[in-house]
Amino acid sequence: MVMEYNPKIPTLRPYIDPDNQGFWDGVREHRLVIQKCKDCGLVIHRPRPMCPRCLSTEREWTPSMGKGVIYAYVNVIYQNAGYPGIKAPYSVVVVEITEGVRILANLYDIEPEGVRIGTPVEICFDDIADDLTLPKFKRLNS
Amino acid sequence: MAIDSIKDKAAIVGIGVVDFSTDIGRTEWYTACQAIKLAAEEAGVNIDDIDGMVKSVDDGPDPTYTGKGLGIDNLLYHSENHWGTSAMMNAVHAVAGGLCNYCVYYQTAHRASGPEKCISDFLVAREFRDDSLDMVRYDYFSPFGLIGEPGYVAMMYRRYMHETGIKPEQLGWVPIVASENAARNTNAIFFDKSITIDDYMQSKLIADPIRELDCAPKVDGSIAIVITTPERAKALKQEPVIINSVASGYALEGQNYTSYTRDVITDLPEMENMAKELYRVGGMGPKDIKVAMLDDTFAPYVPMQLEALGFCGKGEAPAFIEGGDKIRVGGQLPVNPDGGEIGQGRFITTRIVEAVRQIRGTSTNQVANTDTVLVASGAGGPADGMICRKE
Ligand SMILES: [Zn+2]
C-alpha cells in the first residue's frame, strides 16, 4: 500500500452514469469487467454509448483477467500538480491489459521511483472508503 | 473535404494587446473592452462599425458585457469557439461569408490573479470549479489523482520518451530558446535573461517527467484582433495581414491532452489532419513557411508539432530542437520568436499577435523577410491552425 490519502479531503468520486455503471459496479465487487460489443465482439474501454466499429448499442460486460503491462505513467511529485487528498509523490499508470484495452489507475505495491514501462502487473482492488473502491495494479504474482 | 472558399478571403487589420501582468488589478470586463478599443483604434475602424464578435470559450466576458461596455448597439454576428485559431475560424467565416463586415475576436483571461490563483499553481482549478465542464474526466482520471494538465501531458511525454528516446537534455532547448526570445520581447514578462541547460535540468519536476519550465505559467492578459475582408482592408490604417488558410483537425479516440486509449499516443494525428487541410486550402507546404508559431503550453508538444506539421521527418524532431540553432531566429525554422507561451504566459492568442507583427516587420525579434507564418493551436487534442501571409 504505497498511496497515502488525506482523510480530511474526500477522494473525488467517479462520475457514474448509465454508460459506465457496469464497470464501477464490477469494481465495487472486486471484479474487473470491460465493455464488449454484443454484435461484433469489440472490447472497448472507456465505456461508451455504442460500439465505435459497428455502431451497435447492444453492450455487455465481459470479465477481464486483469493482467497487463505498464504502458505509461506519471509520478506526481509536486503536491499542487496533483490532488490535495492524495499525498505526493504518487504514481498514476496506464496499463495495457491482455484483452487489448488500456486502464488508468494507481499502483498498489510499487513506489514511484520503482515504476517502469513494461513492468507486468495485475489488478487488485482497494476499498479506500466505505463507499469507494478503486482498481489498482500490483506486481504480477506478488 | 472542405471547399476552398476561405482562401485569402479575410485579413487581420488591427491588434489590441493589454500589457500582460501577474496582477493586473482590473476586471476582465475592463481589459476585454480595453483590448477591443485598442484593436479598433489601431485598425482605424470606428467602434460603431464593429458588427461581429467572437469570444474565446471559457475566457473572459461575453459580448453582452463587451458590447455594453463599448456602447455597441447591434451585432450581426456573435459566437464563441475554443482555442485561439479555432475562434479565428469563426471570424474568418463570418467576414468571408458576408455575415458581418468588421469582426473582433478577443481572448481575455486573468489566470494569474483571478479566481484560479488561490486554488493551485497550475491549471487544475477549472476542473474543480466548474463541474459541468468535461464531466467525463471525473470517472476516468480524477479518483486516481490525475488532475491538472501537467499530469495529463506527463503521461503522454513518458511514453514519448520511451518510444523516441528523447532526453530532457534535448527537450530543454524548447524553454531555453523561449527564454532567449522572451528576453528580447518587452511584452514578455517571465524571462529577463535566457536560461541554460543547467537551469533547465535543475527545474523542479512537478509531474515527472514534466518540469516546471516545461509549462507555460499563468498570466493576466487580454488581446483583441480585428478581421475584415481584404477589400475593406484597403481603406484602413494598417497593412493587412492576409489569412491564407484556416483549418481544424480531429482524429479517432482524441481527448484534450489525454488520448491514452488510441493505438499510438505519442503523435498528434489531429495536428496532422489539420495541417493537410491547411496546406491544401492555402496552396502551400511546410517549406513555404518562414516562421512557425507553435503551441508551447507544454514543451513536449513542440517537437511533436514539428513532425506533425511536416517541418521535419518522423523521429527527427528531438535532433531538430537540440542546441536550438534550427529553431532560433536566423535558423532553418524560427519557432515562436516572441518567447511563446512559456515566455509570455499561458495565452493562446499571443501567437496570432506575433504572426501579425512578423508579417508587418514589427516584432521585437524580427525574422528577416517574413511573408508567411503558420499558427498552430490545440496540440494534444482537437487542433486548429492558420497560415497568414503578406499581401
Ligand atoms: Zn461492434
- Residue B166 has what pLDDT? 97
- Residue B113 has what pLDDT? 84
Spatial distance between the Cα atoms of B187 and B223, rounded to a whole number of angstroms? 12
- Residue B187 has what pLDDT? 87
Which residues sit with Cβ closer than 5 angstroms to ligand 1, an ion? A 37, 39-40, 42, 51, 53-54, 56
Give the model confidence (pLDDT) of A26-63 as tens digits: 999 999 999 999 999 999 998 999 999 999 999 999 99
Spatial distance between the Cα atoms of B74 and A56, rounded to a whole number of angstroms? 47
- Using CB atoms, pick whichever of A11, A86, A102 lies closest to residue B260: A102
**Residue with the three cell numbers 508538444:** B301
Spatial distance between the Cα atoms of B391 and B286, rounded to a whole number of angstroms? 19
Phi-psi region of B166 (alpha: psi -120 to 50; beta: other; left: phi over 0): beta
Count of C-beta atoms within a 10 Å radius of residue B297: 24
Cell triple for residue B184? Answer: 528580447
Give the model confidence (pLDDT) of B267-276 as tens digits: 999 999 999 9
Spatial distance between the Cα atoms of B95 and A52, rounded to a whole number of angstroms? 37
Spans of chain B below 70 pLDDT: 1-4, 83, 115-139
Residues 25-44 of A with CB under 8 A from B: none
- Residue B46 has what pLDDT? 97
- Residue B2 has what pLDDT? 54
Cβ contact (<8 Å) for B145 and A24?
Answer: no
On whether any CB of chain B is under 8 Å from the CB of A11, the answer is: yes
- Using CB atoms, pick whichever of B143, B155, B207 lies closest to residue A14: B143
- Residue A105 has what pLDDT? 97
Spatial distance between the Cα atoms of B91 and B76, rounded to a whole number of angstroms? 12
- Residue B311 has what pLDDT? 98
- Residue B72 has what pLDDT? 94
**Res A1 pLDDT > 80:** no
- Residue B119 has what pLDDT? 41
User: What residue ranges define each of the domains in chain A, with the CATH number in brackets?
Assistant: 15-63 (no CATH), 66-142 (2.40.50.840)
Give the model confidence (pLDDT) of A71-128 as tens digits: 999 999 998 888 888 999 999 999 999 999 999 999 999 999 999 999 999 999 999 9
Cβ contact (<8 Å) for B124 and A80?
Answer: yes
Q: Please, which residues have CB within 8 angstroms of residue A71's CB and are 6 or more apart in sequence? A: A93, A94, A95, A96, A102, A117, B159
| Residues of chain B contacting A4 with CB distance shorter than 8 Å | none
Cβ contact (<8 Å) for A12 and B148?
Answer: no
Cβ contact (<8 Å) for B151 and A74?
Answer: yes
- Residue B4 has what pLDDT? 67
- Residue B134 has what pLDDT? 42
On whether any CB of chain B is under 8 Å from the CB of A9, the answer is: no
Q: Are A111 and A97 in contact (CB under 8 A)?
A: no
User: What residue ranges define each of the domains in chain B, with the CATH number in brackets?
Assistant: 3-113+219-233 (3.40.47.10)
